[in-house]
Structure 1
Amino acid sequence: MSALLVPPGRGREQQNRPLRLAPVTAETYRAFLASATGAALGAGFLQCPSWADVKEGWRARLLGWGPAPEAGELTGVALVLLRQFPGTRKYFAYLPEGPVADWAASGIDGWLTPVLEHLRAAGAFAVRIGPSPAYRRWDAALLKSVTGSGVRLADILAGEVDPLGTAVAERLRARGWHRCGGDGDGDAQPRHVFQVPLAGRTGDGLWSGLNQEWRRNVRRAQKEGVEVVVGSAAELPEFYRLLRITEERDGFRLGRSLAYYERQYAALNAEEPGRMKLYLACYDGEILAAHTMITVGRRVWYQTGASADHRREVRPSNALPWRMLLDAHALGADVYDMRGVPSTLDPDERAYGLLRWKLGTGGQVVETLGEWEKPLDGTANHTLYRAFQAYLARR
């Protein structure tokens, strides 16, 4: 079943018909994402139907709304993950980086209210969403000049404040939603991400956008003979081994298993061949670094990176993302998203090293709207929501 388009400025009678919400098939959902209307909304990989197959312990629902969703006439979709609260028949509903909707439209109640009503009927006591508009942006050149003891992104005047993001935040607050956490620590997905704009740029332009250290390191890797190749599922165990080394070295823990990445690789590529790729930096017959890359429409993500502790002087961790950046550009992507960065600008904090490395690509830090939650109406739901928050805090 194909998703029918409802483009702006055309089909006025169809657009003026009331929106209806209904469960949709994965085929209808994917057809909408591939359509011009769906592509313009810029869905991320966490809102693809395949993501439901990645997340164990969650039930999934695919929802669509439009003039006639059961016939494929859609204007928006949502992948909803439902987690059962222990000892009850109630669920926490999570829409990771979703829903896929026109947040610029003034009448968001036309689709948001039916979504909440549907989830309440499904037994949800609370809902968490991740609106897509950006909130603030800081260019790399600015941030490199303002580092210092105790300095954080919130202390720096943004180079750009997105009026749509501001408007969406105000609309959600007016409807009883609240932003999770303070500085993003309550979000499941990163609030601050690093993006390299690609639209309208040339390969030479991308090269000149790298800072001097990055260009020097890429040249060093090329001179030493580091080879970057696209691997397969067979190399995922080696990727995972390097990831555990990286976690130990850099002091973080993602908490994901090898089975998680194997499941992700299989599910995403079953949905669309090449959606998830594993890039490998090889030197003298050994894999020294491995990164995963995901593509949906005109967006590309560097998802997770890992590297060995030895032979770092041949700079595999610069050669690898540089090749990925060039490949994303060759695919016609509008943006190369390097995912999360910390909010600290203090060089003495260990976490700053990741931000410093990404700043070298010459992109920008983007503060998203983050994740928003709302307990659904009813005293019992509010009580269960408070209990759920306490449960999460204990975990």
Structure 2
Amino acid sequence: MSEPFGHEKWNAAMLERGASFLQSFEWGEFQERYGRHVSRIAAGGLSGQVIEHALPLGLRYFYVPRGPIGEWNKEAFERWHEAAQRFARKRGAAFLRIDPPLQIPDLPRTEQKVLVRGSQFQIPGLRDTGRSLQPRRNLVLDLPSSPDALLSAMHEKTRYNIRLAERHGVESRISNLESRKNDTTTFIDLLSETAERQGIRLHPERYYETMLDTIPDLPIPNPQPAPYPPPLRGGSGSPIPISRLTKRLYLASYQGNPLATALVLYFGKRATYLHGGTSSEHKNTMAPYALHWRIIRDAREAGCAEYDFGGVDEKQWEGITRFKRGFGGRVEEYANAHDFIFDPIRYGLYRFGKIILR
């Protein structure tokens, strides 16, 4: 069923099940403010935040990023699929796309495909897209209790570059309300420069501006970066999860020139590097290394147990992947996106249009 879930109730359920920030209530609010219709569907023990996307020719589809969330089994999945289908037909959607929150073991590709198709996905009208809207492989860094443990897990060159950035006097800071307007411009400029350099497609500027305006800031307890403080902990000794989606916009500069920026989101016990950019100037200062070392320290101070560097791909993003892997961490690999096809004719038009526009 689709119902107006309360903010706290929804987030509590998502946090209990270890959901991605993409299923947080605040992410839905951002999408709505950007102009997309958002619904939340719960059935069979599964819950998913559904975002409506417009397509050419008056078509539309629904998208469930890293969802639905819950105990995945055939009966539960079929019940959620039926509820989603009823709702999609009311809204006139041609299909519904899910990026499952299912991680794939480290198996050969042929075995992965068998694993996925032989489990929850034997549903009529369901199509494996062979791709994913979200990164297929994310690099996740566990934040240990000791800074030495974190540093020792890094590549030697990464440790050297962090120290080199410090010697060059690279400064990092968190954007605040007073500087937000100028910082947003800097963020988008560096993002655009990086995208052009790497051949990456970006959202319209309004997408990033709306995100920065809508998602609340994570409070800054200390104006200066802590050397490596103890994390905030509850009575059980475990890190306190962040119960709503929040953000921080980071910038690193050298002699007053902005060289690197990063937008980091916080939800539950995970901090996620979502978007960022770097300048091609003063590359010898190693500003991105100083920036992410600051982010990692701050994430631990905020109570996070993990830092998600985002997507890695040795073939498509060789340089970015090499940079991220230098910090250590482990790779999480997810299943392909799958489409529930509700209207085969309109879905065929969508597929034909995609081929024409390639």
One-letter identity of the residue aligned with 1:193: N
Distance, in Å, in 2 between the alignment partners of 1:169 and 1:84 is 32
One-letter identity of the residue aligned with 2:354: L
One-letter identity of the residue aligned with 1:82: E
Specify every segment of 5 or more residues in structure 1 that has no aligned partner in the other structure, as ranges: 1-20, 67-74, 139-152, 345-349
Residue 202 of structure 2 is matched in structure 1 by: 255
Distance, in Å, in 1 between the alignment partners of 2:303 and 2:124 is 38
Residue 53 of structure 2 is matched in structure 1 by: 83
One-letter identity of the residue aligned with 1:31: E
**In the TM superposition, what whole-angstrom CA distance separates every residue of 1:95-130 from its partner, at most 9, and x where no partner exists?**
122223332686332333222222223322211011
Distance, in Å, in 2 between the alignment partners of 1:105 and 1:227 is 52
Residue 131 of structure 1 is matched in structure 2 by: 100
Asked if the contact 2:11–2:244 (Cα under 8 Å) also holds between the matched residues in 1, the reply is no
Asked if the contact 2:49–2:64 (Cα under 8 Å) also holds between the matched residues in 1, the reply is yes
Residue 192 of structure 1 is matched in structure 2 by: 137
Asked if the contact 1:231–1:279 (Cα under 8 Å) also holds between the matched residues in 2, the reply is yes
Asked if the contact 2:190–2:278 (Cα under 8 Å) also holds between the matched residues in 1, the reply is yes
Distance of aligned partners of 1:219 and 1:264 in 2 relative to their CA distance in 1, 3 Å threshold? same
Residue 64 of structure 1 is matched in structure 2 by: 42
RMSD: 3.0
Pick 1 or 2: higher relative contact order, CA cutoff 8 A, min separation 6.
2
Distance of aligned partners of 1:258 and 1:84 in 2 relative to their CA distance in 1, 3 Å threshold? closer
Distance of aligned partners of 1:326 and 1:175 in 2 relative to their CA distance in 1, 3 Å threshold? farther
Specify every segment of 5 or more residues in structure 2 that has no aligned partner in the other structure, as ranges: 219-242
Distance of aligned partners of 1:279 and 1:267 in 2 relative to their CA distance in 1, 3 Å threshold? same
Residue 296 of structure 1 is matched in structure 2 by: 267
Is residue 385 of structure 1 aligned with residue 356 of structure 2?
A: no
Is residue 276 of structure 1 aligned with residue 254 of structure 2?
A: no
Distance, in Å, in 2 between the alignment partners of 1:32 and 1:105 is 26
Asked if the contact 2:14–2:24 (Cα under 8 Å) also holds between the matched residues in 1, the reply is no
Distance, in Å, in 1 between the alignment partners of 2:217 and 2:193 is 29
Is residue 358 of structure 1 aligned with residue 314 of structure 2?
A: no
Asked if the contact 1:236–1:258 (Cα under 8 Å) also holds between the matched residues in 2, the reply is no
Residue 306 of structure 1, aligned match among 246, 262, 277: 277
**In the TM superposition, what whole-angstrom CA distance separates every residue of 1:143-180 from its partner, at most 9, and x where no partner exists?**
xxxxxxxxxx959x9xxx8xxx9468622145442221
**In the TM superposition, what whole-angstrom CA distance separates every residue of 1:260-300 from its partner, at most 9, and x where no partner exists?**
21100111118988811111112222221111100111121
Distance, in Å, in 1 between the alignment partners of 2:281 and 2:72 is 47
Distance, in Å, in 1 between the alignment partners of 2:214 and 2:345 is 37
Is residue 170 of structure 1 aligned with residue 139 of structure 2?
A: no
Residue 86 of structure 2 is matched in structure 1 by: 117
Residue 342 of structure 1 is matched in structure 2 by: 313
Residue 370 of structure 1 is matched in structure 2 by: 336
Asked if the contact 1:57–1:83 (Cα under 8 Å) also holds between the matched residues in 2, the reply is no
Distance, in Å, in 1 between the alignment partners of 2:335 and 2:96 is 16
TM-score calculated relative to the size of structure 1: 0.74
Residue 186 of structure 2, aligned match among 238, 241, 261: 238
Residue 2 of structure 2 is matched in structure 1 by: 22
**In the TM superposition, what whole-angstrom CA distance separates every residue of 1:236-281 from its partner, at most 9, and x where no partner exists?**
10111112222233x3233223322110011111898881111111
One-letter identity of the residue aligned with 1:374: F
Residue 24 of structure 2 is matched in structure 1 by: 48
Distance, in Å, in 1 between the alignment partners of 2:120 and 2:255 is 56
Q: How many residues matched? A: 327
Asked if the contact 1:54–1:260 (Cα under 8 Å) also holds between the matched residues in 2, the reply is no
3-state SS of the aligned residue for 2:72? coil
Distance of aligned partners of 1:238 and 1:43 in 2 relative to their CA distance in 1, 3 Å threshold? same
Q: Matched residues, percent identical? A: 24
